[in-house]
């Protein structure tokens, strides 16, 4: 995999859970890239990191002009349901307003924008969602992600990639859900409650990041659903991970999404139909859960 391109790729959120996989993918393809982060400037995997806070609109405009991207992969977000519920105004500014500004900057510069969205733009009443289904979010997080999508799609050549639940070990600082499950199994020092009644089509970080980069580098546009080949609950993910490691899943307790009694509902079935992506990028691997666990876990077990 050594296809360098003439692109200059700006990647927001390149320090995040998905972003660190995205930049690994870009580095392997020798794509000229720059990362934005609210952290210290420097470099990550040989890719320069610029300190740019998306809340600082003047600095965003200056930094954009200074780098001059031909392509922006926008993966920065207030990315958890809890954080968005706790601070909806901040979720609006990061997830919606900043996306609108990036879309405007890209349009004026003739750059393409690829925006990472989520399966949680749907209400979960039906499942098996296709790109043509209308968003109907029930959570603040999903509402802000859904509100940003039209700002991206109003410009020809842009893409929205709706990702399902991602799994795999962290490459950066932030623990993933998978890291917590892994520690519960391997150290036995905590028990975890896992939903049995919330359905997703989980996909590993590496496959998802490859999909986003391939969609970004290809001459494509519109909405793309990128999920895994199996519809699963978090409980099933934990149980199958424990069994894959030869253990009984005693560290996991079953729970219902209704039992957490939060201030907002959680959707029941937001599984995605990924056939558009699979038809267009049929050569890209699409591993089952256990196939992905096989190569994810081989370095962790050694």
Ligand X SMILES: NC(=O)c1ccc[n+]([C@@H]2O[C@H](COP(=O)([O-])OP(=O)(O)OC[C@H]3O[C@@H](n4cnc5c(N)ncnc54)[C@H](OP(=O)(O)O)[C@@H]3O)[C@@H](O)[C@H]2O)c1
State the virtual CA torsion across 228, 231, 234, 235 in degrees, nearest 10: -130
Q: Given candidates 42, 43, 48, 55, which one binds ligand X under the rule CB under 6 A?
A: 55
Binding of residue 234 to ligand X (CB under 6 A): no
Residue 63 near residue 39 (C-beta atoms within 8 A): no
Nearer Cβ to ligand X (89/283)? 89
Task: Write down the least CB distance from residue 12 to ligand X, Å.
Answer: 6
Q: Provide φ and ψ at 281, rounded to 5°.
A: -125, 55
What the block records as the tokens of 196 is: 């049995």
Which H or E element spans position 102? helix 98-109
Interaction between residue 37 and ligand X (CB under 6 A): yes
β partners of residue 200: 232
Interacting positions 146-185 with ligand X (CB under 6 A): 163, 165-166, 174
Q: State residue 178 phi and psi, 5-degree precision.
A: -60, -40
Residue 98 to residue 53: CA distance in whole angstroms: 10
212 near ligand X (CB under 6 A):
no
By CB under 6 A, name the one of 7, 9, 11, 17 that touches ligand X: 17
* CB-nearer residue toward ligand X: 37 or 158: 37
Question: Looking only at residues 90 through 109 of this chain, which bind ligand X when binding is defined by CB under 6 A?
Answer: 94
Min. distance of Cβ 28 from ligand X in angstroms?
19
Query: Is residue 238 near ligand X by the rule CB under 6 A?
Result: no
List of long-range contacts for 279-282, beta carbons under 8 Å, 24+ apart:
280/218, 280/220, 281/211, 281/214, 281/215, 281/218
Least Cβ distance, residue 20 to ligand X (angstroms): 8
- Out of 13, 127, 228, 267, the only residue in the binding site for ligand X (CB under 6 A) is 13
Q: Under DSSP, is residue 194 helix (H, G, I), strand (E, B) or coil? A: strand
Give the per-residue contact string, 56-95, with ligand X (x = CB under 6 A; - = no): -------------------xxx-x--------------x-
As a whole number of angstroms, the distance between CA 271 and CA 76 comes to: 23
| Residue of the chain from 7, 9, 11, 19 that contacts ligand X (CB under 6 A) | 19
Question: Comparing C-alpha atoms, which of 103, 115, 126 is closest to residue 212?
Answer: 115
CB of 19 to ligand X, least distance (A): 5
CB of 198 to ligand X, least distance (A): 13
| DSSP per-residue codes, 236-275 | HHHHHHHHHTT---TTEEEE-GGGG--SS---SB--B--H
Q: Which is nearer to ligand X, 14 or 249 (CB)?
A: 14
In the complex, the smallest distance separating the C-beta of residue 156 from ligand X, rounded to whole angstroms, is 22
Applying CB under 6 A, does 116 fall inside the site for ligand X? yes
Footprint of ligand X (CB under 6 A): 12-13, 15-19, 36-39, 53-55, 75-77, 79, 94, 116, 118, 145, 163, 165-166, 174
């Amino acid at each position: 995999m050594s296809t360098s391109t003439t692109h200059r790729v700006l990647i927001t959120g390149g320090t995040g859970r998905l972003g660190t996989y995205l930049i690994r993918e870009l580095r392997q393809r020798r794509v000229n890239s720059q990362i934005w982060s609210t952290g210290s400037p420097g470099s990550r995997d040989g890719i320069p990191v610029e300190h740019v806070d998306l809340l600082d609109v003047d600095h965003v405009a200056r930094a954009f002009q200074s780098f001059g991207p031909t392509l922006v992969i926008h993966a920065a977000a207030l990315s958890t349901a809890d954080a968005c519920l706790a601070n909806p105004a901040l979720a609006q500014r990061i997830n919606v307003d900043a996306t609108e500004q990036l879309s405007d900057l890209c349009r004026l510069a003739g750059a393409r924008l690829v925006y990472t969205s989520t399966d949680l733009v749907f209400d979960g009443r039906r499942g098996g969602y296709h790109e043509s289904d209308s968003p109907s979010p029930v959570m603040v997080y999903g509402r802000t992600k859904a509100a940003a999508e039209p700002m991206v799609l109003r410009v020809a050549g842009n893409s929205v990639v709706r990702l399902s639940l991602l799994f795999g070990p962290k490459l950066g600082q932030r623990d993933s859900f998978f890291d917590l499950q892994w520690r519960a199994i391997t150290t036995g020092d905590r028990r975890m409650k896992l939903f049995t009644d919330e359905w997703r089509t989980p996909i590993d970080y590496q496959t998802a990041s490859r999909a986003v980069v391939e969609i970004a580098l290809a001459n494509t546009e519109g909405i793309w659903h990128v999920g895994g080949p199996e519809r699963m609950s978090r409980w099933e993910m934990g149980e199958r991970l424990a069994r894959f490691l030869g253990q009984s899943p005693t560290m996991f307790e079953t729970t219902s999404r209704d039992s957490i009694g939060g201030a907002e509902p959680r959707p029941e079935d937001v599984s995605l139909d990924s056939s558009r992506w699979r038809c267009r990028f049929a050569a890209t691997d699409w591993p089952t859960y256990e196939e992905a666990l096989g190569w994810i876990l081989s370095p962790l077990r050694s």
